[in-house]
Amino acid sequence: MSLKTKAEVGSQFAERYSRQILFSGIGAEGQEKLQNSRVAIVGCGATGSALASLLARAGVGSLRIIDRDYVEPSNLQRQSLFDESDAAESMPKAAAASKRIAAFNSEIDVEPHVTDLTPENIAALLGDVQLILDGTDNFETRYLINDFAVKQNVPWIYCAAVGAYALTMNIIPGETACLSCLFPAAPAGTAETCDTAGILNSAVNMVASTAATEALKILVGAKDKIRRTMISHDLWSNDRSEISTATPRADCQTCALRQFPHLAGDGRPHITLCGRNSVQIHERHRPISFSEMSTRLQPHGRVKHNDFVLKFWQDAYEMTLFPDGRAIIKGTTDTAIARSLYARYVGS
């Protein structure tokens, strides 16, 4: 097969994105900017997978997908990049998303990272991107992103969806309010999650569509079109609200005082709850050989593994072990029990 000429490549590019190029807000110049853009999506669950699909189809040239979790059957109701085979194999979401995107747009670069975003790795994972998109499900990670983005002057988009509720907000450091301006501390009490309040896939798609459109505005340089409000919709009750974020708060710890405690790792727990009756253990620097661990665990319960995860079932507990030693233990929200199980079967 002969190599394609530059003209042929250009023609195919113009054809693939022709309907987007026809849109006056993007045009041929904007499409070129998208092709040369680098975007990170932190979290590839419901919102993150929808964002990844939309931006990949729009021709964003480089996507870095960061997610610590694996696909389960309950994800398929709303997480658009995954299918039943991914759930059956407990495929890491970042790896499954990368594979699926390659099937519909092989021309873009997708870089999956099956890991937590932490103060230790955030510079390596986000240091060279132009925009960060929030597909997470917890304020701990969002405050970490906010610290990094404000300090490094990188725009990011906050997203949330639970029940029928969808919310999003653009954060342009030095221009708009940041997350800490609006929420100096995480909401008190136990926040609702998809595991406690459920979620409509339409709410996910609304927040992802809104955020993806704002991402395109930022990437093509349409600064006058970027929304400077936090907007929320309840699709079931038809309620809608909008709060101005046009100006940073004068006494904001992050924007004004330039204090970044989350980036420093202050108070970050070694073990965190991650929903769905489970606990995540942030163990690191413990490379795991799945074949050796499988042999070791077989006398104690059922074991299976692929190249990405090892799953171990023992009585009422299910442990999912990752190659770096991180684990998600399902069947308890008691961190002491989770740590005990990890120490017993993996090591202290």
Residues with catalytic roles = 194
How many Å apart are CA 133 and CA 188, to the nearest integer? 24
Cα 34 from chain centroid?
A: 20
How many Å apart are CA 158 and CA 183, to the nearest integer? 12
Task: Write phi, then psi, for 109 (nearest 5 degrees).
Answer: -95, 120
Pairing of strands 327-330, 278-281: antiparallel
Contacts of 234 (CB under 8 A, 6+ apart): 163, 164, 165, 240
Task: Write phi, then psi, for 32 (nearest 5 degrees).
Answer: -65, -40
Detail the DSSP E strand segments found in the chain. 38-42, 62-67, 109-114, 131-134, 156-162, 165-171, 229-234, 239-244, 271-273, 278-281, 302-305, 310-314, 317-321, 327-330
Is the CB of residue 90 less than 8 Å from the CB of residue 320? yes
Residue 46 burial (CB count, 10 A): 26
Is the CB of residue 54 less than 8 Å from the CB of residue 34? no
Question: What is the full DSSP assignment across 33-73?
Answer: HHHT-EEEEE--SHHHHHHHHHHHHHT-SEEEEEE--B--G
* Count of positions (residues) in the chain: 348
HSE, CB side, 13 Å, CA atoms: give it for residue 11. 5
